[in-house]
Amino acid sequence: MKHTFAHFEIPADDVERARTFYTQLFGWQVSSAEGFQDYWLIETGEPGKDLGGGLMKRQAPDHGPVNYVSVESVADYAAKVKELGGKVIVPRSPVTGMGWFAHCQDTEGNLFALWEDNSSAA
């Protein structure tokens, strides 16, 4: 498996202002995510081909963008993060019917996330 970026998230103090900014700057399409309250999907190009992301209300003052990397197993890679000196900030959690994620911090203090596609996640 290639460990490529699977998704990104952009927090915003004013979601509508951010939506307008990215739509006008890059032509991205931003629409509400069915089944998710206060979360909007970002299409940067052709769905299923080009990287997409999400836009959400900022959860805390230090809440910054998060890049998700595809892995075979979030549990295995979270353990590897710890072994290599990083930290698991948000443990393995489901996105029902889509997959699993964990938020991590690298050895330099940078936040990133692991993503595992798994339609049976609950």
Confidence of residue 58 (pLDDT cuts 50, 70, 90): very high
Looking at residue 56, what is its pLDDT? 96
Query: In the numeric block, which tokens belong to residue 11?
Result: 């927090």
Q: In the chain, which residues fall in CATH 3.10.180.10?
A: 1-59, 71-122
> Residue 23: helix, strand or coil by DSSP?
helix
Q: What is the pLDDT of residue 35?
A: 86
1-59 belongs to which homologous superfamily?
Answer: 2,3-Dihydroxybiphenyl 1,2-Dioxygenase, domain 1 (3.10.180.10)
| Per-residue pLDDT reduced to its tens digit, 60-115 | 999 999 999 999 999 999 999 999 999 999 999 999 999 999 999 999 899 999 99
pLDDT at 29: 95
The proportion of the chain whose per-residue pLDDT surpasses 90, expressed as a percent, equals 91
User: Is there a contact between 100 and 88 (Cβ–Cβ < 8 Å)?
Assistant: no
**Two tokens, residue 38:** 């206060």
In CATH, what class is 71-122?
alpha beta
Number of H helices, E strands in the chain: 2, 8
Res 37: pLDDT? 87
Question: For the chain, what is the mean pLDDT?
Answer: 95
Q: How many residues does the chain have?
A: 122
Question: In angstroms, rounded to a whole number, what is the distance separating the alpha carbons of residues 116 and 41?
Answer: 18
Query: According to the model, what pLDDT value does residue 1 have?
Result: 84
Per-residue confidence band for 8, with pLDDT thresholds at 50, 70 and 90: very high
How many Cα atoms occupy the beta-carbon half-sphere of 37 within 13 Å?
Answer: 0
